[in-house]
Structure 1
């Protein structure tokens, strides 16, 4: 009986097995998603609940054939050595055909990640590019963007005291430098010399500096260069991680805390939140306190996005709020105070340490919203649409006995809308084409509650730009990169002029048509300007061999004058200057040539980068002391500055090198030299950085808890080439007016600083680790004054500073 039952069950099983239909045929082809070209050697596997049923390899035409397949629902896994593997559901019913498209060039994409400092999106590939990575940025978590960028050769800073730091690239600053944060061009009244970028350094995973107009996607007015502050990509798989950095400093008796948290999901959705808080009291020079130089910063950002191969979208919001004290000793009432301050060995106002941020001070809030999306188009590329909104509210406060101290002397509200459309065509094997359009609407409102003449008037600005470029590999070792851009800019302003000033400048003759009405001694005007500018770039990249590369780049960059250059008429308290714009100022046009020779020698132990360059700028716009020297206002007598235009020539060289002695010791060196000339007046340009030489010796030992020790030497040579902008002023001595020569031109002496930095890492779990860092800036407490610090007339720069950092990865 038992034998009968077993035999019956076996016969039933064989019957069911033979009754299942497994005579179907699966055919298909595997092609490149972008070009449609067949992919040879791709593996196609039929899976049933994870079990392999059948497989095949694509032929020379990218086609495959799998016979004797059962009907039903299965999964098809397709893989290729140079592609991201793909698993797709498939229903097999008799003879079935399936076409599969794979993202090709995976190996090339991985190379992009490895040498990412050369291949930022939207950047010409044959131009000089340098990058600071996350580990370097984290050393400046309690500092500013300008402080961190000084680590790159050819980048210096224009300072207003110790808290306001603007980057300078190869001698150029402000509106000549585009700052891109999370793929958004920052619009934060960058024209002001004393306006620091409203960016939280801690949001960036890398900082990239393009020295020149090699990023036409972002604008054609990058005469100086472009700074890209890009965050890390959002997580695309199920994960949760974060980091917190806590720092404390002796100088300023303050510190910062910054944290970020990332969450990813397997469906491609990623979320990130990040925040930073910084607080410092009065900073200290080697011999005295710098009264009223405290600062406070609060910032927050949040990102939500979905990142799929065929499509993606992202929503981003950031808030940046800062309060900056202005050195009280620089708050002058008249030229007599200026002369006394210049001649005094120490600031005239030195008070006890305080965290209070009094008068004068700046308060700035910046909101930024971004909505972006992309769609991959088969056999073409990627189409991206992005909208951004920015609102910048800048308030500056000063001591005015007749008005409440809480009423600002400057209150500017700048609102900006941007719309960008970008098409990246990557369907060609040896070429990549990029094209797009940008639109902008901007509105500035100068709040009259200040009861002070508006330095910058109300205005509306419209701009429209279009660009296109192609990067083509002529051979495996030679790449050519060509791009062009055209921009149209329209500015419509409403401004009151003093009647006497309007006539003295000759505006009543040259701009009579802009007069709307006369109100008492004031003239209401409506200046309207249109500008059309062209920009272009041509670059070549040649791999001499596997270790040496030669780059050549020519860049044509053009920019219209900014509102400050056109309309300024008033006291800039932070700069201690009365600034005058000029309605006659025209577009600025630069022609720049740069050659970069870089490579790795001696088994890649020696790496170097040498970039000589020449920048010829027609109608160069510069703010410099006027011939009148001093202007007397109801608030006192002040040095007068005005915007003028002349042709300029900048010649320079940047050099970087590193040598690995062994697995533990490394020496890095960098040198920058720049010569700037006004070719019309045959004299040096003002505010050109002096030559500098940096050397860093590093000891690293991964076996000793990733111990890292650094000693850095910074040598800043004295600037010996400068224009003579000295002026004569009348002051009262012994109850008599006497003429005194005011020296505002002579640069300070050169100086040498030594710094130390160290870190060590402890593993606390599988993914959790703690890194401790300790650094000393200005080890020998050297007294010095930086040439490009607007407050060098009043006080020394910062003295010794001890900093302790704790970084927790989790």
Structure 2
């Protein structure tokens, strides 16, 4: 028996040796894009001690490889690690492809660093994660104000809309996880339906350079992206808490991610935020509370050759509109506009009463990508969005609590993109986007509908490319075409119809006469062309770019159809069916220098518009809802020019100073006057102390200096007001900008490790330390109240 066992073991071992481990495995590691050999790649035959580095030709060779399924682990500097399965049945040769494009694999996360993905000749700016973290209790617009040339158009306290070099709303495109956000962005008080807590990376592209995103983004694009998920077996996440004194509120945010070595991943993200009435230095701002809830889920497969993702996000917010902005009669409205102090004071409350707005947004997306050998990468996605906007006025009787505006916008989008980048000296991007929208304006509100029912079809196609002809110079060019078909159904009061003179130009669109009003069916077709050309020069730590962009944007539905009271904006808006697409010709220069202790970026620009659409105050009007300013859309030729600049200097080992500056002039060339609502010149100073070796300590003091905007149009007017039985003309000062102001702030942050795993990040800041009483020119409700005063904010984030 003993002899039999020995013979059996000898036979098995001999068979295994002679049959399974005598093969040769050789191969080559090359760049997936351009086919070039990758030298010094580390190739490891797993479950053995064999490790080989590729030679200058990218070649490797293993001997005495066993038969059966084997796995190779392949590493190369600036490449994503690859696990490569292979079946050994004989001597085998193979070719292994690696992704050698670092910019696709790393996150750029420093303010002022240049991101070259969107456009080669007009650099974009990526917002620092630390900047995003300290604004978790605020809005996206608040965080972006730290970038020179980016400001905010606000409607009270919690409704903040980003402005890039004087342009906003439909001219600034918002992207969420590579999908264009469709959320009724035509309104000046329509804040982005994006939860600030969920933003992990935010990129700002100034100007209409990113043709792949949209030709109508004449002001630029704001791109929010979730964090990249590693291809490895891990479970991680974080939970954040924010609390603020002004508004007596805060928020909670948590995220959990699970990823696997084979590329599968899943992520869940949820946030909640609530604030009560904000407080100006001397009084509470009645009905300025804010409530926000958000959830996002994503999962998919991330492999080298191909992958897909399923994504869903939910966002819901409720915003109070300053009660003092809604006035019952013209006399009180004029006094409110002309006064120096608010008419009334109130007690603090968390309750959000009318007037208010409520927004719910759903976004679902399915995306797929595949890498093509010696070509590049193809990507495609389908996205569905549904945006429901409710605006509530102060109503009584049977209509109390009923929305005055109820819009439901549904958007379907399909987009595909091919990136050809197999040659390191040039790459080409080409794509097609198809969009269908259906907007329903609920007639059961009982109020004349500001925005009508409409269907909109869009087809867009683009091609961009860049060529690097030597070590220093890169050229870029691109072309885009967009076709838009708009089919609406709109009621017009006959008095408004005749006042606008529409009978002569648009009598053919009347489909039914209801006595006091017409039902019309306006249809529009817009064909827009955009193109870009630019140069970039790079040498050592200096970079210069010159860019020319021709962009074109079709008028949006508000500019065409507005004809009544916009409740949450507290104004009467009037559009015009005669509007044509507006065209922008922009020249932009960027100079950047990064030395050891000193760095700067300067961006002068000139933007010439044909048929620029602007909203201009025209007077006052009394309705059954009260008295409101009247604003009318106009189309003019315009010129915007200015400069953005930012510089930093390391004073000592642990001290650094930074200053940013923005100056802009907007001119109405037809009237030889200034444009309305252009940002005032402003400075931001910051002195920072850092001790990275001591809990990553960071402390800074800031001073924001907004100068008086002396370049403004005088749209003041006189209005007859009944005073003690007699009518008298009173000047209504609706134009004069508020005085200059300086706000001081303080911020500190540190990182701790109170437990064996994970880390705790703390951030404490004080805004408006001196409790300065001020107003901002870009606050649409500046006539009725001052800006919020001092605010203490604490952010705590635990990473695990």
Q: What is the CA–CA distance in structure 2 between the aligned matches of 1:784 and 1:116, rounded to whole Å?
A: 28
Q: Which residue of 2 aligns with 1:50?
A: 48
Residue 174 in 1 paired to residue 155 in 2? Answer: no
Measure the CA separation in 2 of the matches of 1:264 and 1:222: 35
Partner of 1:787: 777
Structure 1 76/413 Cα, relative in aligned 2: closer, same or farther at 3 Å?
A: closer
Query: Secondary structure at the residue paired with 1:698?
Result: strand
The worse-fitting range, judged by mean Cα deviation, of 516-525 and 31-40 is: 31-40
**Separation in structure 2 between the aligned mates of residue 245 and residue 89 of structure 1, nearest angstrom:** 40
* TM-score, reference length from structure 2: 0.95
| CA deviation profile, 1:165-195 (whole Å, cap 9, x unmatched) | 1111001110000011111111000000111
Task: Note if 1:612 corresponds to 2:604.
Answer: yes
- Please report how far the alpha carbon of residue 51 of structure 1 lies from its aligned counterpart in structure 2 after TM superposition: 3.1
2:110–2:126: 8 Å Cα contact kept in structure 1? no
Counterpart of 1:574 in 2: which secondary structure? helix
Counterparts of 1:734-773 in structure 2, within 5 Å, are 734-773=724-763
What is the deviation of 1:14? 10
Indicate which of 649, 657, 672 corresponds to 2:639: 649
Cα offset, 1:744, TM superposition? 0.5
2:399 partner SS: coil
Cα separation, 2, equivalents of 1:225 and 1:550: 20
Residue aligning to 1:301: 296
Matched-pair contact (CA < 8 Å) for 2:718–2:729:
yes
1:680 counterpart residue number: 670
TM-score (norm 1): 0.94
1:589 to 578, 583, 598: 583
Q: Which residue is equivalent to 1:775?
A: 765
- CA displacement at 1:74 relative to structure 2: 4.1
**Who is 1:524 aligned against?**
519
1:355-386 deviation per Cα after TM superposition (whole angstroms, max 9, x unaligned): 11112111111111111111111221111111
Superposed displacement of residue 556, structure 1: 1.1
Once residues 808 and 234 of structure 1 are traced to their aligned partners in structure 2, the CA distance between those partners, rounded to angstroms, is: 19
The match for 2:355 is: 360
CA distance in 2, matches of 1:636, 1:89: 73
Give the superposition deviation at 1:65: 5.9
- From 203, 214, 224, the equivalent of 1:219 is 214
- State the match for 1:36 in structure 2: 35
Q: What whole-Å deviation, never above 9, does each CA across 1:12-45 have from its counterpart, x for those lacking one?
A: 8997698558765555444332233444565666
| Aligned mate of 1:132, from 98, 119, 127 | 127
Aligned equivalents of 2:310 and 2:177: distance in 1? Answer: 11
Distance change in 2, residues 1:714/1:548 (3 Å): same
Distance 1:187 1:178 in 2: 9
Matching residue within 634, 639, 653 for 2:624: 634
- Matching residue of 1:286: 281
Q: Aligned-pair distance for 1:426? A: 1.6
Question: Contact 1:374/1:385 (CA < 8 Å) preserved in 2?
Answer: yes
In the superposition, relative to structure 1, how do residues 480 and 274 fare at CA in structure 2: closer, same or farther (>3 Å)?
same
Question: Is residue 393–residue 413 contact of structure 1 (8 Å, CA) maintained in 2?
Answer: yes
The equivalent residue for 1:624 is: 616
Residue deviations 1:432-486 (CA, integer Å, cap 9, x gap)? 1111100111111110111111000000000000011112211122111211110
Q: Greater CA deviation, 799-808 or 185-194?
A: 799-808
Q: 446, 469, 474: which is aligned to 2:469?
A: 474
- 1:758-804 per-residue CA deviation (whole Å, 9 max, x = no partner) reads 12222123431222222111111110010111111111111111112
Partner of 2:186: 191
Structure-2 separation of matches of 1:770 and 1:67? 50
Unaligned runs of 5+ in 2: none
Question: Which shifted more, 79-88 or 201-210?
Answer: 79-88
Q: Give the Cα separation in 1 of the matches to 2:719 and 2:637.
A: 30
Partners of 1:767 and 1:574 in 2: CA distance: 48
Counterpart CA distance in 1 for 2:25 and 2:746 is 66
**Judging changes above 3 Å, is the alpha-carbon distance between structure 1 residues 50 and 410 closer, same or farther for their aligned structure 2 residues?**
same
| Alignment partners' CA distance in 2, 1:278 and 1:18 | 66
Cα distance in 1 for partners of 2:143, 2:406 equals 29
Please say if residues 395 and 401 of structure 2, whose CA atoms lie closer than 8 Å, have aligned partners that are also in contact.
no
| Alpha carbons 1:701, 1:708 under 8 Å: kept | yes
* Corresponding residue number in structure 2 for 1:101: 96
Aligned to 2:701: 711
The structural deviation recorded for 1:234 is 2.4
Displacement after TM superposition at 1:668 (Å): 0.8
- Relative to structure 1, is the Cα distance of residues 431 and 780 closer, same or farther in structure 2, using a 3 angstrom cutoff? same
1:281 deviates by: 1.1
CA, structure 1 residues 515+130, in 2 after alignment: closer, same or farther (shift >3 Å)? same
Q: Is contact 2:410–2:437 with CA below 8 Å preserved after alignment?
A: yes
Change (3 A) 1:187 1:5: closer
Query: Structure 2 matches for 1:385-424, cutoff 5 A?
Result: 385-424=380-419
- Which moved further from structure 2: 456-465 or 261-270? 261-270
SS where residue 475 of structure 1 aligns? coil
Query: Residue 598 of structure 1: which of 583, 592, 597 is its match?
Result: 592
1:577 corresponds in structure 2 to: 571
1:552 corresponds to 2:546: yes
| Residue 85 (structure 1) shift | 5.0
**Gaps spanning 5+ residues in structure 1: where?**
none
Once residues 478 and 33 of structure 2 are traced to their aligned partners in structure 1, the CA distance between those partners, rounded to angstroms, is: 22
The answer (yes or no) to whether the contact 2:38–2:54 under 8 Å persists in 1 is no
Q: 8 Å contact 2:383–2:414 — kept in the other structure?
A: yes
Distance 1:200 1:34 in 2: 36
1:116–1:100: structure 2 CA closer, same or farther, 3 Å change rule? farther
Distance 2:224 2:748 in 1: 25
Distance 1:636 1:115, change over 3 A: closer
Q: How far apart in 1 are the matches of 2:10 and 2:263? A: 49
CA contact (8 A) 1:234 1:271 kept: no
8 A Cα contact 2:242 2:252, kept in partner: yes
Alpha-carbon contact 2:46-2:73 (below 8 Å) kept:
no
2:109 touches 2:201 (CA, 8 Å); kept in 1? no
Contact 1:312 1:374 in 2 (8 A): yes
Change (3 A) 1:403 1:736: farther
* Deviation for aligned residue 1:684: 0.4
Deviation at 1:110, TM superposition (A): 6.3
CA 1:425 to 1:341, structure 2 compared with 1: closer, same or farther past 3 Å? Answer: same
Which residue number corresponds to residue 88 of structure 1?
84
Name the structure 2 match of 1:240.
Answer: 235
Return the alpha-carbon distance in structure 2 between the equivalents of residues 114 and 189 of structure 1: 30
> Secondary structure of 2:777's match?
coil
The answer for the alignment partner of 1:254 in structure 2 is 249
- CA deviations 1:549-591 (Å, max 9, x no partner) are 1111111111000000000001112222211110000001101
SS in 1 for 2:197: helix
Deviation at 1:502, TM superposition (A): 1.2
Residues 12, 704 of structure 1: CA spacing in aligned structure 2 closer, same or farther, 3 A cutoff? Answer: closer
Shift of 1:754: 0.2
| Structure 1 residue 536 displacement after superposition | 1.2
Residue in 1 that maps onto 2:223: 228
* Structure 1 position 633, deviation (Å): 3.2
